[in-house]
Amino acid sequence: MSFNLQKIRNDFPILSRKVNGYPLVYLDNAATSQKPQQVIDAIVDYYSRYNANIHRGVHTLSQEATDAYEAARKKIQTHFNAKEAYEIIFTAGTTHGINLVANGFSEILKKGDEIIVSAMEHHSNIVPWQMLCEKTGAILKVIPMNEEGVLVFSEYEKLLSQKTKLVFVNHISNALGTINPIEIIIEKAHEYGASVLIDGAQSCSHIKPDLQKLNVDFYVTSAHKMCGPTGVGILYMKEEWGNKLAPYQGGGEMIAEVTFEKTTYAGLPHKFEAGTPNICGGIAFGAAIDYLNRIGFEAIEAHETELLKYATEKLLEIEGLKIYGTGPDKTSVVSFNIEGIHPYDIGTIVDKLGIAVRTGHHCAQPIMDFYKIPGTVRASFAFYNTLEEVDALVNAVKKAKMMLS
């Protein structure tokens, strides 16, 4: 599939609508991406033709649903280059996957053990580890960042020790767009025998991680940021950890045998997939993976890089505008403020002009505290956005500044 931007945009029904009388300019892709018709069709097809519960029925519909669900798992395994399909565990999303791992380690960590997070994490990759420390007596340490919004690697190296058991870092910052050097972060952690979880919620719509090459222990992401539906994601878990960690939930599907005296658990991935899963969501996630791969991640990256460069240049022409997150390795996020104007006020005005951006702390309050600001305006671009939409954003921000100054 060649990169035909207009053809791609035609795949997304929502992009043709108007907001407040203006054509929709959707620049909140870091919160959730829009869905192509191909994914919508997969959802409708499941509920229209073969809706049934999976893994348990001998009837035709159940077998068809099971085959489609497991085929989606296989697609995801291939896409991320996991060694085995059973290392891909379906979850309700990134947050669910992180909590699943944290729960498992609650029985492994002991008082005085150390775990490391970065200063630029989403709350979903902070709060579960704080809860884990409260429960186990482990100590939470933080990799600092600099004014550019880049992690200070030398400080990370100082934090590592034989006491370090776990390291948690996002692949890409949702608030700043910074791409973290996860390859070397993982390598250094492993030198001390520590395990690593990477939060890939913001990365997987832009790049295609190779999990075997990364040699990461855990990797989590959500379908809804990859043109898939909400309420479904995946946790990649190395087989060795899948065998060590206790289940997060008990119920149907995750068991091998149940008696009133004792229950034994199923093997991977079912050990961590209690209850009826989001069957339709998993199947549609597979359809989203197919769609993105037909476009190609090299083409996606090239177009989004152009959008980021153009938006950065045009926005910086506005007097008093400051961009947060100016490191050399970034993806298509521009987080900014205008001196003397609250970000919420800018977001409200540009919405009246049909432009969807995000304002606030973006569930990354420690980042905002670091910069001593209440939040930012965040414009986040996807492969279906256009340079003309960037122009519309810039003009709207100029108008907001004029009205609010």
Catalytic residue ranges: 363
Tell me the CA distances in angstroms from 405 to 39, 79, 343, one per residue in order: 44, 48, 13
What the block records as the tokens of 307 is 């959008």
Residues with Cβ within 8 Å of 173's Cβ and at least 6 positions away in sequence, in order, are 120, 149, 180, 202, 325, 333, 364, 367
Cross-strand bridge partners of residue 356 = 26
Indicate the length of the chain as a whole number.
405
Neighbours of 15 (CB within 10 A): 19
Helix ranges restricted to H, 58-152: 60-80, 94-105, 127-136
For the chain, the first-to-last Cα distance in angstroms comes to 47
Contacts 24+ apart (CB under 8 A), 305-312: 305/332, 306/387, 307/332, 307/381, 307/385, 307/387, 307/390, 308/177, 308/332, 308/333, 308/334, 308/381, 310/387, 310/390, 311/379, 311/381, 311/390, 311/393, 311/394
Helix ranges restricted to H, 277-386: 279-295, 297-315, 343-352, 365-371
208-238 b/e (C-beta count within 10 Å ≥ 16 → b):
bbebeebebbbbbbbbbbbbbbeebbbbbbb
What is the secondary structure of 90-115 as a DSSP string? EESSHHHHHHHHHHHHTTT--TT-EE
HSE-up of residue 349 (Cα within 13 Å, Cβ side): 20
Rounded Cα distance between 196 and 167, Å, is 5
Q: Cα–chain-centroid distance for residue 340?
A: 32
240-267 b/e (C-beta count within 10 Å ≥ 16 → b):
ebbeebebbeeeebbbeeeeeeeeebbe
CA angle 151, 172, 74 (to 5 degrees): 140
